[in-house]
Amino acid sequence: MDSAQVSQTRQNYQFSREQMEGVMKRRFFYAPSFEIYGGISGLYDYGPAGCAFQANVIDEWRKHFVLEENMLEVDCSMLTPHTVLKTSGHVDKFSDWMCKDLKSGEIFRADHLIEQVLQNRLTEHKRICNQHERDNPKLLEGQKTTKGKNGLLFKELTEEEIEDYENILARIDGFSGEDLGNIMIKYNIRNPVTFEPLQPPTAFNLMFETAIGPSGQLKGFLRPETAQGQFLNFNKLLDFNSGKVPFASASIGKSFRNEISPRAGLLRVREFLMAEIEHFLDPLDKTHPKFKTVADLKVPLLHRSAQESGETTPIIMTLGQAVRMKMIDNETLGYFMGRIYQFLIKVGADPKKLRFRQHLDTEMAHYAADCWDTELKTSYGWIECVGCADRSAYDLTVHSKKSNEKMVVKQMLPSPVEITRWEIDINRKLFGPRFRKDSKIIETALLKSTQKELQKYASSLLKDGSFAITVPGFTEEFSIDSELVTIEKKKKLEHVREYVPNVIEPSFGIGRIIYSIFEHSFWVRPEDSARGVLSFPPLVAPTKVLIVPLSNNKDLIPITTKVSEALKSIKIPFKIDDSGVSIGKRYARNDELGTPFGITIDFDSLKDESVTLRERDSTKQIRGSISDIIQSIKDISYNNISWEDSTKSLKIFQS
Amino acid sequence: MDSAQVSQTRQNYQFSREQMEGVMKRRFFYAPSFEIYGGISGLYDYGPAGCAFQANVIDEWRKHFVLEENMLEVDCSMLTPHTVLKTSGHVDKFSDWMCKDLKSGEIFRADHLIEQVLQNRLTEHKRICNQHERDNPKLLEGQKTTKGKNGLLFKELTEEEIEDYENILARIDGFSGEDLGNIMIKYNIRNPVTFEPLQPPTAFNLMFETAIGPSGQLKGFLRPETAQGQFLNFNKLLDFNSGKVPFASASIGKSFRNEISPRAGLLRVREFLMAEIEHFLDPLDKTHPKFKTVADLKVPLLHRSAQESGETTPIIMTLGQAVRMKMIDNETLGYFMGRIYQFLIKVGADPKKLRFRQHLDTEMAHYAADCWDTELKTSYGWIECVGCADRSAYDLTVHSKKSNEKMVVKQMLPSPVEITRWEIDINRKLFGPRFRKDSKIIETALLKSTQKELQKYASSLLKDGSFAITVPGFTEEFSIDSELVTIEKKKKLEHVREYVPNVIEPSFGIGRIIYSIFEHSFWVRPEDSARGVLSFPPLVAPTKVLIVPLSNNKDLIPITTKVSEALKSIKIPFKIDDSGVSIGKRYARNDELGTPFGITIDFDSLKDESVTLRERDSTKQIRGSISDIIQSIKDISYNNISWEDSTKSLKIFQS
């Protein structure tokens, strides 16, 4: 087969999740954690092949982002005290909506339940229509009912209902708890098995809680994202970068979400590997010097207003154009979208199953300026695998305020700038005696006043001769009169500009990416339907080479050793299969592990030290010296050279 | 300086922890997590340099162990349900002893407190003796007292007390809670600051607890080690390895221990990176085919009986000899000790500050056959950095029993073996009618009987005509009479041997190793005492090269770009420092980051594209073409070639 035929055969394969999961399980790519104890939903272990694949994806991520862009990688604690996540907003807002069935005690995640039920009704509707069309074409609308798989009656839907359902499904990520509750009442959504009514949605915080230290008094959580650790270290990172902005930090590590009822395998889990970048930049300048390197990349974009009008087909557009027309908010956001696209294709995502979806206004955090999810299409639908958000100055601002640690960038101005500011002068001779032991804390509070507050105080002083302020730790207000302070507008020359940087955050769910690539890579040869093939790019394949001695004849051992030593010396991961089974079976077994190359050692190898190289997808074979063959493997796996180019000087082999 | 001079200068340096921690902090190798909120003891973040160093150590670990030995790497969940850790023994036994000061609420870890107080008393004793020797040589013993730094009176110790103290300190890891309580009473050990008495030691479980799922009913813990995930997947791993033993699994990941009062920086933390190997082997054959590759390695061994007699100096011996004389229990344990030694030296541990210490009987888990800690010497004393234990068949046995999942290896016997076994035959015609709906579960229980139980039942049948059995889920016993079953001793030919493999477990605390290497690598040049040098091996140094253009003259940019592109293309991590400060300062700054090489680009570089290469430790400089210089860097960093060999064809450079 040539590569066109391979791609045709792969396209013809009708994906079966069952078939792929069979391979994943049989070859231990991953499995439910604690399976011998019955397993726990939402927790999975990666076996040797899955773990090596994950390590290779991470390694490439580090090269593609951290090394290429000189990012500052950090590794921060997962255990996180309450204060940090209270300040970031997670304690109050990081929740999903759950509904309880009081009778059975079962708990549902409201948006997922609505999605499932409405999808079901739409599917049943189609089935009923088709059936009645055949059986009894004269029935009136509304008279058509049928029993679903669970014995419940399904009714044909009106056109209005269909439109409502589709509208809800398109916007399902943007509803509040109240919205979800209203939808459930309006469309009579209940426990889909028992048909019992459910309690209205209540918020369930998704963080795992624990206590730090022996007294049990310090409440903590497992981090729900790696981002907070990066924000808290901002000053140290800025310092490490000699005070220069823009720069990016990055972090690879596990995060945790106590999902309400995780299904969908690796796609919705309670413990997951993330890779996150926080790119800190000047809010007044969101251009990117390397944007031109991705500006001509054509990508599928499903923008906000398209979704609002129920559209689900993305438009194909260059990133340059999308930024120019402000569909994508700024160059840096666009640059990262381009880099994300390149990365995902490199590690094996199918470009035809990739799209960028912009967040709806209702979906986005209130502080975010723009946010695009990179979604990969799987048998579970379109899955958010990377988020790319402009978080503005939100995180640094809230942490700075709460911790009293200034987190700003100082920029020398090319020429000084005259600015006008409200300033406060305190008459210390009177101030101390008046407030005695409290004077210090009141003074601090006064000096921390914002420009807006000072303006208000000044006008109060003018009108009433005094103003009132509240001070942390005191319930009563303090009255400050014009004897104690002077507040005036003053002109000043500033030489340094101080600002809180904004943050662009590309955030990768590694497990979701890996699972999607598994689906995108899987196919079955028409001639061998019992076994699958995983067409991973050689770069990320768990093992690069299978060495196959033709038989277990002792004479073949020295050459087998020679080949394996040669591979070991240049650190190419390989396995040897010297089991007794047929060559074909050994290769087929290994296609399931996604190993791109096979080296066969036969009795001709003894004569001239030549060996055969087999390519996984096309099953093409060529013959050459050990060193030529290994050079080809190295070039294709790591140096981005094609099979055709790298093997053109070698002989085609027919066995 | 030549390398002998460097090593002399390094030896002359009097290590100062304060000086090193200054560098660690200033260059953000690591810092307390959540520092802007005041930090939490026992939690640290790695900054860019620390994180890169850690990634390189892990990368080398993966190559040295996983790839070299074809281990099966897995990545398992950190969240772990109660059942698993109850079965493994952690719920009941994974605790430290804590003592509370009822007055202040302060909590101490009993063994650490005793250690600290006795050490203090011994130190004070020496100080007093020295002082009195000078001041008043005629005072009688017991009359000598003095005030310690905290104002408390210290007394000179008797010879008996000194011996007692030293004896306790040598065995501090082996005491029970009761022992510790008795020591505290006998030697009057109290809160060292307030001198208040403390409550007797109580066990504090070190696992962080949380609840999994929205109902809050599934109790879980954060794993205290990665080992359990590997044991639970044993059958899948055995299957992946085509049923063959020995094989090893491996896992790299975070584990968690809720330390009572962590101090000692990175050495005692609540969240830490581990790398663990579980090597499964035949209990009847603990030889290792590659043992001969390490048998001649001479290592310092502090064995059990030496410690029991208060000895603290290890003996130097080859691993071969230690295994032959059974000081080390078996070859496989010895092989891993050798590989651990090689690994630690390769990543930068000082061989003069490394020893193997065998666990005392009281220290070792009851099931363990032998255990050797690899300890590295730091300013905090000797620190356990790697444990290497023979865990016997304990873990697989307990999990198998609890989960009802058989976990055994099946081995074809070369020739069948005749064995005698008790066998039970059930008379189903009577059995079913007698027990009706319960018959199935009773039958299952009977068939699961051990040989010992069957023997007991048989003798009951003979004596009383019946026996009683208990069945899971029933409180009453069932009586089985001789009509229902026949139990007989039968001879049988067995073709397959079934056994539960034993486990040798090398377990690495990566953070402790990293911190120890920081200490072992740190020194200060006599001529520049304000700045430190971190002499990391190039293999694991965070950045390999600093590119230093002589000035920021624009003419130097093309060559700087050429050098950096060349390094990027072969993936050697580098930084450019084109700041205005002097070359010397730029290099000194970078010595603190442990960067082994510097490339200087000057105006001569414009003529012939030659550049200067500087070596960090000796500050030697040589001159050569860009490609020669980069080849040297690559050879020294990754191909284990020395500076001398790799640069001998290049010119020495004097600026």
Provide the 10 A C-beta neighbour count for residue A282.
15
Smallest Cα distance from B591 to chain A, Å: 15
Phi-psi bin for B42: left (phi > 0), alpha (psi -120 to 50), beta? left
A128 and A144 Cβ atoms separated by less than 8 Å: yes
Q: What is the 3-state secondary structure (H, E, C) of B281-340?
A: ECCCCCCCCCHHHCCCCEEEEECHHHHHCCCCCCEEEEHHHHHHCCCCCCHHHHHHHHHH
Confidence of residue B618 (pLDDT cuts 50, 70, 90): very high
pLDDT higher at A256 or B310: A256
In chain B, % of residues over pLDDT 70: 96
What does the alpha-carbon distance between residue A234 and residue A243 come to, in Å, rounded to a whole number? 11
Output the pLDDT for position B641.
92
Q: How many A/B residue pairs have CB atoms within 8 Å?
A: 202
- Structure-block tokens of residue A31: 């499995």
Which pairing describes strands A597-601 and A545-549: parallel, antiparallel, or unpaired?
parallel
Output the pLDDT for position A395.
95
Please name the member of B36, B70, B260 whose beta carbon is closest to the beta carbon of A214: B260
What does the alpha-carbon distance between residue A267 and residue A250 come to, in Å, rounded to a whole number? 23
B260 and B303 Cβ atoms separated by less than 8 Å: no
Output the pLDDT for position B147.
60
Output the pLDDT for position B156.
80
pLDDT at B59 over 70: yes
pLDDT at B142 over 60: no
Domains and CATH numbers, chain A: 3-77+223-395 (3.30.930.10), 95-205 (3.30.40.230), 409-498 (no CATH), 543-652 (3.40.50.800)
Using omega within 30 degrees of 0 as the cis cutoff, is the peptide bond preceding A197 cis? no
Q: What is the 3-state secondary structure (H, E, C) of A145-188?
A: EEECCCCCEEECCCHHHHHHHHHHHHCHHHCCHHHHHHHHHHCC
Question: pLDDT digits over A549-558, tens only?
Answer: 998 889 999 9
CB contact under 8 A, A28 and B240: yes
In the 8-state DSSP scheme, what is residue B67? I
- Identity (one letter) of the amino acid at B136? N
Class of residue A415 by CB neighbours under 10 A (exposed 0-12, middle 13-18, buried 19+): exposed
Please name the member of A48, A77, A209 whose beta carbon is closest to the beta carbon of B45: A77
B121 and B157 Cβ atoms separated by less than 8 Å: yes
Output the pLDDT for position A438.
87
What does the alpha-carbon distance between residue A175 and residue A181 come to, in Å, rounded to a whole number? 10
3-state secondary structure of B110: helix
pLDDT higher at B394 or A651: B394
A287-A292-A293 Cα angle (round to 5): 125
Q: Average the pLDDT over each of A75-89, B69-83, B185-199, B397-411 and give the range with the smallest value.
A: B185-199
Confidence of residue B229 (pLDDT cuts 50, 70, 90): very high
CB contact under 8 A, B571 and A67: yes
Instruction: Return the axis-axis angle of helices A177-186 and A110-135, rounded to nearest 10°.
Output: 30
Output the pLDDT for position A263.
82
Please name the member of A79, A210, A218 whose beta carbon is closest to the beta carbon of B209: A210
Could you tell me how many residues make up chain B?
Answer: 655
Confidence of residue A4 (pLDDT cuts 50, 70, 90): confident
ipTM above 0.90, yes or no: no
Query: Which residues in chain B touch residue A232, judged by CB atoms under 8 angstroms apart?
Result: 33-37
pLDDT at A221 over 90: yes
Calculate mean pLDDT across residues A13-38: 96
Could you please report the per-residue DSSP string of A40-101?
-TT-EEE-HHHHHHHHHHHHHHIIIIIITTT-EE-B--SEEEHHHHHHHTHHHH-EEEEEE-
The HSE-up count of residue B271 (CA atoms within 13 Å, CB side) is 24
- Structure-block tokens of residue B505: 């477990």
- Rounded to 10 degrees, the C-alpha dihedral A139/A144/A147/A148 comes to 120
What does the alpha-carbon distance between residue A318 and residue A363 come to, in Å, rounded to a whole number? 25
What does the alpha-carbon distance between residue B511 and residue B513 come to, in Å, rounded to a whole number? 5
Which pairing describes strands B218-222 and B79-81: parallel, antiparallel, or unpaired?
antiparallel
Query: Which residues in chain B touch residue A54, judged by CB atoms under 8 angstroms apart?
Result: 75
Provide the 10 A C-beta neighbour count for residue B381.
11
Query: Which residues in chain B touch residue A28, judged by CB atoms under 8 angstroms apart?
Result: 233, 236-237, 239-240
What does the alpha-carbon distance between residue B330 and residue B171 come to, in Å, rounded to a whole number? 25
Output the pLDDT for position B137.
58
What does the alpha-carbon distance between residue A243 and residue A99 come to, in Å, rounded to a whole number? 49
Output the pLDDT for position A10.
93
Q: Average the pLDDT over each of A136-145, A547-556, B237-246 and give the range with the smallest value.
A: A136-145
A191 and A108 Cβ atoms separated by less than 8 Å: yes
B498-B501-B507 Cα angle (round to 5): 170
Computed on alpha carbons and rounded to an integer, the radius of gyration of chain B in Å comes to 31
Calculate mean pLDDT across residues B281-287: 96
pLDDT at A379 over 70: yes
pLDDT at A367 over 80: no
Among A23, A35, A51, A256, the strongest candidate for a mutation testing the B interface, having the largest count of B CBs within 10 A, is: A51
Output the pLDDT for position B340.
98
pLDDT at B517 over 60: yes
In chain A, % of residues over pLDDT 90: 69
Among A74, A97, A249, the strongest candidate for a mutation testing the B interface, having the largest count of B CBs within 10 A, is: A74
Confidence of residue A147 (pLDDT cuts 50, 70, 90): low
A558 and A606 Cβ atoms separated by less than 8 Å: no
Contacts 24+ apart (CB under 8 A), A160-169: A162/A122, A162/A125, A165/A118, A165/A121, A165/A122, A166/A122, A166/A310, A167/A310, A168/A114, A168/A118, A169/A115, A169/A118, A169/A119
Provide the 10 A C-beta neighbour count for residue A291.
19
Residues facing A625 on adjacent strands: A610
Could you please report the per-residue DSSP string of B19-65?
HHHHHHHHTTSEEETTGGGT--TT-EEE-HHHHHHHHHHHHHHIIII
Question: pLDDT digits over B619-644, tens only?
Answer: 999 999 999 999 999 999 998 899 98
In chain B, % of residues over pLDDT 90: 70
In chain A, % of residues over pLDDT 70: 96
Using omega within 30 degrees of 0 as the cis cutoff, is the peptide bond preceding A32 cis? no
Please name the member of A33, A37, A75 whose beta carbon is closest to the beta carbon of B45: A75
- Structure-block tokens of residue A547: 């060495």
Among B24, B27, B29, B45, the strongest candidate for a mutation testing the A interface, having the largest count of A CBs within 10 A, is: B45
pLDDT at A141 over 60: no
What does the alpha-carbon distance between residue A182 and residue A201 come to, in Å, rounded to a whole number? 10
Could you please report the per-residue DSSP string of A408-469?
-EEEEEEEEEEEEEEEEEE-HHHHHHHHGGGHHHHHHHHHT--HHHHHHHHHHHHHHSEEEE
Pure H helices in A187-241: 227-232, 234-240
A474 and A384 Cβ atoms separated by less than 8 Å: no
pLDDT at B141 over 60: no
Q: Average the pLDDT over each of A194-198, B1-5, B573-577 and give the range with the smallest value.
A: B1-5
Q: Average the pLDDT over each of A153-157, A465-469, B76-80, B386-390 and give the range with the smallest value.
A: A153-157
pLDDT at B655 over 70: no
Calculate mean pLDDT across residues A607-621: 94
CB contact under 8 A, B76 and A403: no
Interior/surface letters B388-413, b for 16+ CB within 10 angstroms, e for the rest: bbbbbbbbbebbbeebeeebbbeeee
pLDDT at A142 over 80: no
Could you please report the per-residue DSSP string of A327-386?
SSS-HHHHHHHHHHHHHHHHTT--GGGEEEEEPPTTTS-TT-SEEEEEEEEETTEEEEEE
